[in-house]
Amino acid sequence: MTKTLNYRKLPPLKSLKGFESTARQLSFRKAAAELNLTHPAISHQIQSLEQDLGVKLFNRDSRQMSLTPAGHRYYPIVREALEALINGSETIRRSANPSTLRVQTYVSTSIRWLARRLPRFTALHSELDLQIISCIEEQDFNETVADIGIVFCLQPPQLPLCWSPLFKGALIAVCSPTLISNSAELRPEDLLDYPLIEVTSEVWQWHDFFKDSNVGKLPNSSISVNSTVMAIEMAIDGEGITLVNGPFADRELAAGRLIRPTAHCVTEFGEWGLVCRQDMREQHNIQAFSSWLLADFAEHK
């Protein structure tokens, strides 16, 4: 028989959100803005929680706020409890609407790789309401806004997430054939003589590319953009050389709109794959998409 809970020992539940937000940001003002409440309302929640627990949770002075030892001990307990409630509630919400499938990936992946594949999926699964959630700089899978993600990871994510690999990362340099006057293949260090285009969320790429090719010198300057899509388009237009991680410029390479100025390629540094919550992986919409994409990629590289 399940043990009865003693609800009288629960703290005032409404105050836990105020405590978590205030403790994370160490600011009543920021917590109030985040929770759409007034400063006095947040302050009252904290006071109510402290009275219930019989301890001070925050040190307050005119200049800054800090957690007391009791506050430090209590914060991970509250955070874990709230996360469990959020995740459990999301699981129920998603299972209640299995006809919707929310897929998260990067803008570049959506435009240059996934979009042309989706008609094959929707033709097979017209019963699903497909929603693509594209992000520019957010690298991690956000389970609160998506059911499944197509992401790049240096290491496979850990539980409670599960991982299905698609293909290994492969970092190659690409540019327009109009940029390189001599058709001879360049050495990696020769690329330093040309304008290099970097993506702000992937600033490590050029560093790793030159390090892997044993080039001690790094570029003095580069053109920075915040999207791989933009970097590739600029490369097509002859404005510089950029790096591509994955098969996102394959059509342009096949058509001759882009070339590889050097054969050097960085591998074994991560992989692309599908990620979702472990407890959601057998749900019809997620299983349909993951099984289809793995099979589709095997057939249509």
- CATH number where 248 lies: 3.40.190.10
Q: Which of 58, 73, 95 is the last residue of a domain?
A: 95
Closest C-alpha among 201, 216, 212, 139 to residue 173: 212
What is the predicted pLDDT for the residue at 142? Answer: 84
Q: Domain check: are 185 and 248 in the same one?
A: yes
What is the tally of structural domains in the chain? Answer: 3
Same domain, 257 and 176: yes
Q: Which two tokens stand for residue 250?
A: 């394959």
| Residues 195, 252 within the same domain | yes
Residue 185 lies in a domain: yes
Based on the domain organization, do 186 and 225 belong to the same domain? yes
In this structure, are residues 209 and 164 in contact, taking their beta carbons and an 8 Å threshold?
A: no
Largest CA distance in the chain: 80
Say how many Å lie between the first and final Cα of the chain, rounded: 55
> Which of 205, 181, 186, 101 lies closest to 146 in space, CA to CA?
101
Per-residue pLDDT of the chain (301 residues; tens, 9 = 90+): 677 888 888 898 889 999 999 999 998 889 988 888 888 889 999 999 999 999 999 988 767 889 999 999 999 999 998 888 887 777 676 665 567 899 999 998 999 999 999 999 999 998 888 999 987 666 788 888 889 999 998 888 887 889 999 999 999 999 999 998 766 788 999 999 899 999 988 888 998 899 888 887 777 667 899 889 999 999 999 999 999 998 999 999 999 999 999 999 998 788 999 999 888 888 889 999 999 999 998 887 7
Does residue 70 form part of some domain? yes
Q: What are phi and psi of 70, to 5 degrees?
A: -65, -40
- Show which of 54, 74, 95 is a domain's final residue: 95
Bridge partner list, 129? 100
User: In DSSP terms, which residues pair with 274 in a beta bridge?
Assistant: 150, 164
Cβ-contact 242, 197 below 8 angstroms: yes
Last residue of a domain, one of 95, 110, 133: 95
Contact in structure between 129 and 259 (CB atoms under 8 Å): no
Helix (H, G, I), strand (E, B) or coil at 59: strand
Helix, strand, coil abundance in the chain, percent, nearest 5 = 45, 20, 35
Q: Are 184 and 39 in a shared domain? A: no
- Quick check: is 159 in a domain? no
Which one, of 59, 273, 30, lies nearest residue 152 by Cα? 273
Only one residue has tokens 């793995």, namely 294
Tell me the pairing of strands 148-153 and 265-277: antiparallel
Q: Is 162 left (phi over 0), alpha (psi -120 to 50) or beta?
A: beta
Indicate whether 3 belongs to any domain: no
Q: Which domain does 252 fall in, by range?
A: 170-270
CATH at residue 36 = 1.10.10.10
216 part of a folded domain: yes
Task: Give domain status of residue 28, yes or no.
Answer: yes
Do the domain assignments include residue 155? Answer: no
Q: Are residues 216 and 259 in the same domain?
A: yes
Q: Does residue 158 belong to any structural domain of this protein? A: no
